[in-house]
Amino acid sequence: MSAHVDNQESGRSSITGKPTYRKSSTLTKLKSLKAWLYLLPALLFLGIFMVYPLIDVLIYSFEEGYNSASQTSFGTGWFNYAYVLHDPYFLQAVKNTFIIVIITVPLSTLLALLISLGLNSIKKLKEVFQTIFFLPYVTNTLAVGLVFMIMFKKTPYTDGLINMILAVFKTGPIDFIDGPYWAKMFVMCFYTIWVVLPFKVLILTSALASVDEVYYKAARIDGTSRFRQFTHITLPMISPMIFYLVITGFIGAFKAYSDEVAIFGTNLNSAGMNTIVGYVYDMLYGDSGGYPSYAAAAALILFAIVFTITVVNLLISKKTSIR
């Protein structure tokens, strides 16, 4: 008996006397190798299409006067970042992007939560209403933008549908497309909320449906009001989904460009409605294009902004979940 125990402790088989830890170590290595082989296609994809371009953009951003045709530059330094940060078009794009982010992300999330709560309380025709609210999400962005432009645009022949409604209240007409900055920003934020709202409603409706009804039954037995049920049961249970929507909403809003083009056209600088992504595109392919170094610097500034905000949101959500 003692010999058997001694053999086990020494890592040897009591029958053959050969070491057993080598076999288990080999199996562990084979399993690890098999796992890495499974991950290899995804790692190659990430390396080729994400890591390499990011490194390439980082190099371009420090190459002053880079010429994409001859692959030459005057030198290296911080000039590209200094130029971009002092460019009035870039500063206007940053201003527009932050206004869109600050207004649309919280407002769209709050509206989606209210609509989801309403849909969750409906018993009859619940699926029909969910489908109606989800329809804008599957509609082409440019098509929706064209409809918004027709509704808000003032022409020599008509003031537009919105101005016709405002006329009933003795207000307007207002040129929302080519008029004052606040009017154009209102249209932009309204359009952005309209586009992102269906997806958020779908996610929050699913989250609300996953909350166990037992919690609500216990709360009703204790005489808990609906407001306290919402703040102490519903919100804590769906808070991970809310933070997910907030984070993805921030990232999506910072990448806004096609929405602006759909409403104001391709010359966003003249309209004063360009975004950071639009600025990057203009530096590469627009009327002022041909400056990949400036575009790379602007892209990395955008990356730093989005990365910082995402990290802050994740830290806040982590602290909230711990509490």
Instruction: Answer yes or no: are the C-beta atoms of 277 and 295 closer than 8 Å.
Output: no
Confidence of residue 166 (pLDDT cuts 50, 70, 90): confident
Lowest mean pLDDT across 109-113, 209-213, 269-273, 318-322: 318-322
pLDDT of residue 107: 93
Confidence of residue 131 (pLDDT cuts 50, 70, 90): confident
Q: In this predicted model, what pLDDT tens digit does every residue of 16-27 receive, in sequence order? A: 555 555 666 776
Average pLDDT in the chain: 80
pLDDT of residue 117: 87
Q: In this predicted model, what pLDDT tens digit does every residue of 180-221 receive, in sequence order? A: 888 889 988 998 898 888 889 888 888 888 888 888 888 888
Q: Is the pLDDT of residue 8 over 50?
A: no
Q: Is the pLDDT of residue 115 over 60?
A: yes
Confidence of residue 118 (pLDDT cuts 50, 70, 90): confident
Q: Which fold has domain 79-322?
A: MetI-like fold (1.10.3720)
Q: Is the pLDDT of residue 12 over 70?
A: no
Torsion of CA 142, 143, 146, 150, to 10 degrees: -160
Q: In this predicted model, what pLDDT tens digit does every residue of 55-76 receive, in sequence order? A: 888 888 888 777 665 666 677 7
pLDDT of residue 286: 67
Confidence of residue 321 (pLDDT cuts 50, 70, 90): low
Question: What pTM does this model have?
Answer: 0.78
Locate CATH 1.10.3720.10 in the chain.
79-322
pLDDT of residue 70: 60
